[in-house]
Amino acid sequence: MSFLLPKLTSKKEVDQAIKSTAEKVLVLRFGRDEDPVCLQLDDILSKTSSDLSKMAAIYLVDVDQTAVYTQYFDISYIPSTVFFFNGQHMKVDYGSPDHTKFVGSFKTKQDFIDLIEVIYRGAMRGKLIVQSPIDPKNILK
């Protein structure tokens, strides 16, 4: 499934995506193409990408090719999903100590769609952190 989504394979490409994605939520999935949990998440991302195309741009980022960002976002577990809006890192309160990224896969496509809608609406109102709409029992601890 991951072949359906565009890949960013260098720091330069990630920088470019962050700078050039305007008026949409930029979704960066950090992981590895062959990882089973990444593949599960990629399936959800690719199935929702056309529904969310007006609100979100979704890219896959290989953790081994973008070490600078892997360190910067402290990605110790994959997949980890990071969100931006107009070049600004968007934080989400998942009820956990880390608001910078979503770790693991989403349980359902609807969880991901709801999260993108909340981030998008919050960002349009100038918020840099939003409250997660996902049921806490569907979030990895």
Domain ranges of the chain: 7-133
Contact at 8 Å (CB) between 112 and 74?
no
Q: Report the distance separating Cα 82 and Cα 90, nearest Å.
A: 8
Mean pLDDT value of segment 87-111: 94
Residue 14 confidence (pLDDT)? 97
CA-closest candidate to residue 83, choices 108, 65, 64, 106: 106
Q: CATH for 7-133? A: 3.40.30.10
Mean pLDDT value of segment 107-119: 97
How many C-beta atoms surround the C-beta of residue 15 within 10 A?
15
Residue 136 confidence (pLDDT)? 87
Instruction: Catalogue the E-assigned strands of the chain.
Output: 7-8, 25-31, 56-62, 80-85, 88-93, 102-103, 129-131
Contact at 8 Å (CB) between 83 and 119?
yes
Predicted TM-score (pTM) of this structure: 0.94
Q: Rounded to 5, what percent of the chain is helix, strand, coil?
A: 35, 25, 40
pLDDT band at 139 (very low <50, low <70, confident <90, very high): confident
Residue 140 confidence (pLDDT)? 74
Contact at 8 Å (CB) between 119 and 58?
no
